[in-house]
């Protein structure tokens, strides 16, 4: 079985930062896959832009190499690679000067009134500058869209400034703020599970859900992004965007329709219902950590402070927090969020734990009865499992066993799980903003985050140390155990 492919309209996609890491590692491979599946019409063009001098031929050669590294051999049919590379162009442009803009304009002119998308895969300081130039040079047509990615600001005030600068040139309906977690197959599946089945909705509330855990664990350190990370930390890099977005999708009310504004209207209600965390309660609700030298799956690891060459760094590389949602559906249900670098495994998952049964009819020898859990795994192996108690098969007495019911069907259907960027870039071309963040969502998330960052600053408390390769400071275990719960460990 193959998935249904519907071709999009012809477009010009201009990637500012087209010769950068994000473009070579994610964007161009994603576009290649869509090309290989026949979803991109012959006339569509991809234009890389950056300051360095590169010809079309140079860019095609560099992209061929990048595809070699980031697309599996089996998916890289040589004829398809060649036809893909023919779509590529490169124009040297310095966003901060006037150099190159006319050449870009001339190339785009040839596309007539077709859809134009500008992907700003550059440092966020350039978002406003590039938008102003696009406006000033007359390149922002009504059929133009602009795509930006985190970090959108480092606090509420700076996020408002970025949004204002882009908003000077583009309408909200033209702005696509990517959170690539929302493009993941299993996140889509969460929507299908919740809203295409009658089974879960009656249970999806404080009466039946005991708690929710959202974990984003990385094994890597700061990997060349030390400068950025030391100013951001886990709170701004992971919690403000990816984790809060996941929390919103789990917690939101059913939208009236699966369209952009219905979904975003529901997500923002969750954001506005989040229990404030501030100087009064942050010590009780949040644990911050920073890794010291240690081990882990990647071998011996240096301490964070030496990796970023800042011995006095008070930046957190780990956070565990307990969030609450003050509304009728979720009152009293803790949402535990945990993220960190240099942890023992790479895994991102959402675990919805249902309440324990009210009374057991089984003898103690039958074994312990665990909570039912719905586990939505975003990476590395995307999938959905429902953990249930069953009778241990076979003769003999009644013994109970906790087993996962695997609801991941991509493998069964023989479909490669697409990368999030494949879906998201084509959604931009289709003009579908459902999986992108609206301005008010980004700003509401910062409004919740800012008091946390301010509380840390005011307290002068430094992050708790943890050895690289472990699950963060012991205090993070105490945070959840205090409530009589434990962090989820995968079952069989
Ligand atoms: N890499 C990722 O996986 C990832 C993931 C999520 C978000 N992001 C965000 O995406 C953005 C790009 O990240 P990256 O990792 O791709 O960075 P990168 O590898 O440093 O690439 C930056 C690109 O911007 C170009 N550039 C810099 N200044 C420019 C200017 N004045 N005018 C035109 N082009 C300019 C650079 O090329 P020249 O030097 O030739 O100008 C380069 O192509 C950052 O904001 C990052 O936070 C990245």
Bridge partners of 352?
212, 374
Quote the mean pLDDT of the chain: 94
**pLDDT tier at 411 (50, 70, 90 boundaries)?**
low
Catalytic residue (one of 35, 180, 242, 280): 242
pLDDT attached to residue 1: 45
- The answer, yes or no, to whether residue 4 has pLDDT greater than 80, is no
Percent of the chain's residues with pLDDT above 70? 98
Structure-block tokens of residue 156:
């509420």
pLDDT digits (tens, 9 = 90+) for 277-326: 999 999 999 999 999 999 888 889 999 999 999 999 999 999 999 999 99
pLDDT attached to residue 39: 96
**pLDDT tier at 164 (50, 70, 90 boundaries)?**
very high
pLDDT attached to residue 3: 61
Q: Which residues line ligand 1 (CB under 6 A)?
A: 16-17, 19-22, 50-52, 93-96, 121-124, 126, 149-150
Residue to substitute in 27, 96, 122 for testing ligand 1 pocket (most ligand atoms within 8 angstroms of CB): 122
- The answer, yes or no, to whether residue 107 has pLDDT greater than 70, is yes
Atom number of ligand 1 nearest to Cα 123: 45
For tokens 């033209």, the residue is 174
CA 119/CA 16 separation, integer angstroms:
6
Least confident of 4-13, 32-41, 229-238, 240-249: 4-13
CA 257/CA 253 separation, integer angstroms:
11
Q: How far does residue 139's CA lie from ligand 1's centre (Å)?
A: 21
Q: How far does residue 122's CA lie from ligand 1's centre (Å)?
A: 4
Atom number of ligand 1 nearest to Cα 24: 16
Active site residue 242: yes
- The answer, yes or no, to whether residue 2 has pLDDT greater than 60, is no
- The answer, yes or no, to whether residue 402 has pLDDT greater than 60, is yes
Structure-block tokens of residue 265:
């209207």
């Amino acid at each position: 079985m193959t998935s249904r492919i519907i071709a999009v309209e012809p477009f010009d996609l201009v990637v500012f930062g087209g010769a950068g890491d994000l473009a070579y590692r994610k964007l161009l491979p994603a576009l290649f896959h869509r090309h290989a599946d026949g979803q991109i019409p012959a006339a569509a063009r991809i234009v890389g832009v950056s300051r360095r001098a590169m010809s079309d031929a140079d860019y095609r050669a560099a992209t061929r190499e990048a595809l070699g590294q980031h697309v599996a051999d089996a998916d890289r049919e040589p004829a398809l690679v060649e036809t893909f590379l023919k779509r590529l162009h490169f124009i040297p442009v310095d966003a901060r000067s006037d150099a190159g803009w006319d050449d870009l304009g001339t190339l785009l002119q040839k596309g007539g009134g077709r859809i134009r998308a500008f992907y700003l895969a550059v440092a966020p300081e350039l978002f406003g500058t590039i938008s102003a130039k696009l406006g000033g040079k007359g390149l922002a047509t009504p059929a133009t869209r602009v795509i930006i990615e985190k970090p959108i600001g480092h606090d509420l005030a700076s996020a408002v400034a970025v949004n204002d600068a882009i908003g000077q040139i583009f309408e909200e309906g033209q702005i696509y703020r990517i959170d690539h977690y929302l493009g993941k197959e299993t996140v889509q599946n969460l929507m299908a599970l919740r809203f295409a089945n009658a089974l879960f909705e009656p249970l999806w509330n404080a009466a039946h859900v005991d708690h929710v855990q959202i974990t984003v664990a990385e094994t890597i350190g700061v990997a060349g992004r030390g400068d950025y990370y030391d100013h951001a930390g886990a709170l701004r890099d992971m919690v403000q965007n990816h984790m809060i977005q996941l929390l919103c999708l789990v917690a939101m009310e059913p939208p009236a329709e699966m369209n952009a504004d219905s979904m975003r209207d529901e997500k923002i209600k969750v954001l506005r219902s989040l229990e404030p965390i501030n100087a009064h309660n942050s010590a009780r609700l949040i644990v911050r950590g920073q890794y010291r030298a240690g081990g882990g799956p990647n071998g011996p690891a240096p301490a964070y402070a030496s990796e970023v060459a800042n011995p006095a760094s008070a930046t957190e590389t780990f956070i565990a927090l307990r969030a609450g949602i003050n509304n009728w559906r979720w009152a009293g249900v803790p949402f535990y969020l945990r993220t960190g670098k240099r942890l023992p495994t790479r895994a991102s998952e959402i675990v919805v734990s249902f309440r324990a049964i009210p009374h057991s009819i089984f003898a103690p020898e039958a074994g312990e009865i665990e909570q039912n859990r719905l586990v939505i795994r975003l990476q590395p192996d995307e999938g959905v499992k429902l953990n249930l108690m069953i009778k241990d098969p076979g003769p003999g007495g009644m013994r109970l066993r906790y087993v996962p019911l695997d609801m991941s069907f991509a493998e069964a259907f023989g479909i490669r799980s697409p990368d999030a960027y494949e879906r998201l870039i084509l959604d931009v071309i289709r003009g579908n903003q459902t999986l992108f963040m609206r301005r008010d969502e980004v700003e509401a998330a910062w409004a919740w985050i800012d008091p946390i960052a301010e509380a840390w600053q005011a307290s002068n408390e430094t992050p708790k140390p943890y050895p690289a390769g472990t699950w963060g400071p012991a205090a993070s275990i105490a945070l959840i155990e205090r409530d009589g719960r434990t962090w989820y460990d995968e079952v069989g």
